[in-house]
Each structure stands twice: as C-alpha cells, then as structure tokens.
Structure 1
C-alpha cells in the first residue's frame, strides 16, 4: 500500500500568511492615509516619510496613494480568506472552485502590486531621494505576497502562470508610467497654484521678512510649502525670498539648500535660525520682530 504524499506546511498555511501580511499592509497604509488627510506629521525615524507623503507621487488625481494601497491590501486579505470561510461539508466543491479562482487572482494581484512597488522604489531612490521605512515595508509586503502566491500551492502549469504574470506586470508598469507622467507634467517645476489673495497685512509682513533677510526653503511639490504660501496669498508670496530646493523645480538652488542642511520643507531661516514646518503669520511676525499691521485675512 502506497502512502499519499503529505501536504507541505507552506501549502497549509500560505493563505493565513498572506492574510497576516495583508493586515500589516492595511495598518501601514491606514496610518499614512489618516496622516495625509489630516495634514499631520508622520511618526518616523527619518525626515523622509513626510517628504514622500507630500511629494507629487503621493496622490493620484487627488486620491492619496496610501488609500489606494489600503484598498489593494484589503482585496488581498479578502481573496486569501474567502475559501477559509467555506468549511461546511456540502460546500466542498464550491470551496475547490473558489480556491482555484482566488489563487490565480492572488497571484495576479501580487504581481501588479510588486510591479507598482518596484516603480515607487525607483522613484524613491532617483527622484525623491529620501528614506521612508513605511514605503520600504509596503514594498517588502508586496514582494512577500508574490513569493507566497508562487510557493503557496501546487501550480499545474507554472509556465502559463509566469506568462500571465509578465503580461500583468507590463500592463501595470505601462499604466503607471502613463499615469504619473500625465499627473506630474502639469505640476513639474511649478507646484499647485495659490488661490488665496493677500491683504495689506500679508503684504507688509512679506516685505518685512525679505527686508530682514528671512528665507523660505521649500520644494515645488511640497504640500506644507503650499499651505504656507496660501497663508500669505499669491501677491505676498511673490515678495518672499523663496529658495527652491528640488532640482526639478523652477530656478533651483540645490547646493544652497544642502549647505544650509535643509532636511524638511518648508524651512524658514530667520536671524540665522532655522525653523522647520508651516508657521502661522503671527509666529513669523514674532520670530522676525515684525511690528506692522496684524489683521491677517488668511488664518
């Protein structure tokens, strides 16, 4: 009598492992989404997390990329868990069909996520040039998905599987390149237009800051920099001594930013002191010893 071959442990636990990784990804992306939507700083061992979160690659047509990631992780969790919920004897045939279908969808989803993560890691290294542990963790989650979907079950035709994976990867990368090229081309070097108008007090403060040698260091894609400019309004912003730190921005002064040790945006230099983050006009008035009108319209 020939004994049947035992099921490898990875086949028994692969869906549970995928579910666990998905939960980790959901936690990371949920935290980043909340921080993005509430305009809060991210708890991070480096300054790179906020830099990434405020970059033009952090949103797609106004939707936070982290929110899209949360939806993707939720989808992977749902696909991994669905057959596990069908545990009644009369559901045996249904479960077998659901397992086969969801395994293929898990593999294709993991391939798309890994391809997308590869592109984002390339952007992180070559364009943003910042270290973001959350982004790296998300990329590792995506590649873990891909590995688990390949080794997590016995595939009858791995050649066809990989062929399908290559097609999905190519489609994903082409779509991502086209999407981000269109998304960033409109803003490249210019940033988001300022909509607020300036009152007399904003104009007076901006001219005072320039007179005393105050400098605002920022990047064209920086959301916090845009918030700071909106407080001044578009007319007063033109009066500021603004230094663009991103090499892709208009009239960049990258070496000057490096010489000053600028690590976060915006950073104000007032009386030889550096102050990072968006500052209220009242605070800028105090820091620069401004004594003019204080009836600011943009609070």
Structure 2
C-alpha cells in the first residue's frame, strides 16, 4: 500500500508525496494521447483533484494508486479526444500538435547535448516525433488510447479494456489498426546526421533566398502546413508541392522583420528551427525528412502553443 506524507485534503508536497511522483509519467501519457502539453497538464491536474477529493479511507482502499491514476488520466484524455474533433471543426486554419519546449541546439550528426525540458515533463522518443503525433490525430480516440497505452507504455490489453470500455480482444484489434496506420505513414528512417544536414541546408538556402537550393531540398510532393489558430498571421491552407513551398519561403524571407532570427533547435526530438523576435519564440518549424528530401514542414505560430517556448 502506498504511504502518504499528507493527511486529509491538504495541498500535497510533490517532493515527499509518492502519489505526486507519478505526475511525470501521467504527463508523458497524456501528452501522447492529446498532442497538447497544455491539455495534458489539465488532464493530470483533474486526475489529482479527483484523488485528493477522496477521503483517506477511500484512498487507502486503492491497492495500486499508480494504476488508478493512469486509468483516470487515460479516461479523462479519452473524453477530451471525443470532444476535440468537434472543437477543431471551429478552429481557424489547420491544427498541429503542440511542439514540446526544447532549448537544445543541434549540430551536424548529433542532437546537441542533453535534451532540455524546463518542467521535466516529457521523456522524448519516437512516439513524440511530430510526424508520429500527426498520424495519431487521424485515429479514433479508442485506437489512439489502445495503441499508446499498449505499444508505448506496455499496459496489458486487459488494463486497456478497463479504460476504453471494450473487450481485451477488441482493444488488440484497435492497437493493430493503429499500428497499420503508423507503418503506412512512416518512411524508412533517415539517419539523424543526414536529417540535421538537410535542415541546416534548408535554413542556409532560405536565409540566402536561394530558390533553386530550396527546391532541391524539397520533395516534389512536399506539403507545408501552418497553425496560427487565428491568433497569428500565417497561411490558412496547406501549400502543396516543393516549388510552391520554395516560392512561399522566399516570400517569407523577403518579409522577415529585421529583429527576427532563425535558430537551430530540437523540436520533439528531431532537428528543427525556431524564429525569435525580441528574444521571444514566435514560430516553431518541424520537418519530416524522407531520404534526402523534406517531405513535410509544420509551422506552429499559435502563441498559445508556444507558451512553454517563451517561458521557463
């Protein structure tokens, strides 16, 4: 049985309370389920509110508090996912998962040093790669929950079944369906050093306004998607085709304010770029590289999704 350093409903001390020590894991799960760090934090906060609303006797009756917290967080996320589709129908422009706040610079062949996560929130692996999160957005809520809990966090299908309200066999099928989507969308892996080289070459060509070099770095069928959420100026519809993207990026370079700088930063574990203005991050660029070409660019300008990039 888990012991607690607090009694009643006092405010918990995260440094002493073993229940609060589960927070990082819960944020890890919720971020992958929701694609939003802000929503993940809200889901976990709601989970803890439910835990501390119980009496001491009710808490003591729970044999595995960590499992209880995971179940509640996952169910909250499942409900959020169910309503998210309706909310996004009214979202201005395209919706892109919230990029994780990293200050890490990268150099050719190596992502720079230690991953920086100011709130020590999310452990990076391929399941937070932005391309991966975008594919998760195409899944049903039940598929997403079954896949993340089983394939990423190694929960049994019996445990997943209790969360999504399906049989273990049905959850196995949900995870298998999600797995097929992932495999169909993911190209063969490009070595990290090569990805870094390509993104750096793109930055240099962009700053030099070298349209031929940009076209050479972009897949002919590349797509660029931007998310301003109606709160920042950007293109509302995806730009299709390498040449069209190159022309758009040259126009962006021409209109670039004098006080804006482009920086090489790690974005969800992969080489990316940020634009800073007066010391604040105003845009995050993530890239999906296949072979020796960029096939997708995601541009996040919604300031609500960049809060963690400009604080802490």
* Fold equivalence (TM over 0.5): no
Higher strand proportion (structure 1 or 2): 2
TM-score by length of 1: 0.29
Higher helix proportion (structure 1 or 2): 1
